[in-house]
A and B are shown apart, each in its own frame.
Chain A
Amino acid sequence: MKDAFGAPQSLLVLGGTSEIALATARRLIALRTRTVRLAGRPSPALDAAAADLRARGADVRTVGFDALDAASHEAVLGAVFAEDDIDMVLLAFGIAGDQGRDEEEPLAAVRVAQTNYTGAVSAGLVCAGALQAQGHGSLVVLSSVAGERARRADFIYGSSKAGLDAFTQGLGDALHGTGVHVMVVRPGVVRSATAQATATGTASGTVPAAPPTAPRGGAALLAPERIVAARSASARFASAPLEASPLTTTPEAVAEAIVTGLRRRSETVWVPGSLRAVMSALRHVPRPLFRRLPI
Chain B
Amino acid sequence: MSAVIEPILGRYLRCEIEGRPHRIYFEEAGAGIPLVCLHTAGSDARQWRHLLVDEQITQQFRVIAFDLPFHGKSNPPEDWEGDEYRLTTKTYTATIRAVCAALGLDRPVVMGCSIGGRIVLNLAIDHAAEFSALIGLEAADFQQPWYDTTWLNRPDVHGGEACAALVSGLMSPDVPPARRQETLWHYKQSGPGVFKGDLYFYRVDGALHQKTPTGG
* A and B interact physically: no
Contact surface of B with A, Cβ cutoff 8 Å: none
Contact surface of A with B, Cβ cutoff 8 Å: none
